[in-house]
Homo-oligomer: A and B are copies of this chain.
Amino acid sequence: MIALTSTPIDVASALNYLQSSQAGAVDLFLGVVRDNTQNRPVDRLEYEAYDKMALSEIQKIVDSAHHRWTLLGCVVIHRTGTLLIGEMAVLIGVATAHRADAFDACRYIIDTIKQTVPIWKKEIFTDGEVWVNAHP
């Protein structure tokens, strides 16, 4: 399951989707909005996506993970819009027979999402704002 959503991510339904009688391991990674970036206090984040391409780039990453590991299930959900401190920005969930594959695949997916998927994050501080990674 791959989705972009402007409403809060539901962990329970993601876990439900990952249920498999062959699964011995589930690794779930949650990216969360934290209250600071390099000690500068963050007020909120705004996520923007090129939806169609973001979904197809995530699909490529998931396909590549399926190619590298034997995955029994895989969920990627990314929030868009305004997110407050403590809110979940992204959920990656992977179910496998054995735990090493779950950890490796989950980590690969989040690392690669951060490199290739057209989603942009603006950090809004109390005294300004910045598009992350945009400036030299």
By a beta-carbon cutoff of 8 Å, the part of chain A in contact with chain B is 11-12, 15, 19-36, 85-86, 95, 97, 99, 102-103, 106-107, 110
Tell me the number of copies of this protein.
2
Q: Nearest chain B CB to A38's CB is how many angstroms away?
A: 10
The answer to whether B21 and A86 have CB atoms under 8 Å apart is yes
Residues of B within 8 A of A99 (CB): 29, 31, 107, 110
The answer to whether B25 and A28 have CB atoms under 8 Å apart is no
Partner of A11, one of B12, B20, B22, B23: B12
Residues of B within 8 A of A25 (CB): 29-32
Residues of B within 8 A of A107 (CB): 99, 103
Q: With A22-B35, A34-B21 as given contacts, are A29 and B102 in contact (CB-CB < 8 Å)? A: yes
The answer to whether B26 and A32 have CB atoms under 8 Å apart is yes
The answer to whether B15 and A24 have CB atoms under 8 Å apart is no
Residues of B within 8 A of A29 (CB): 25-28, 99, 102-103
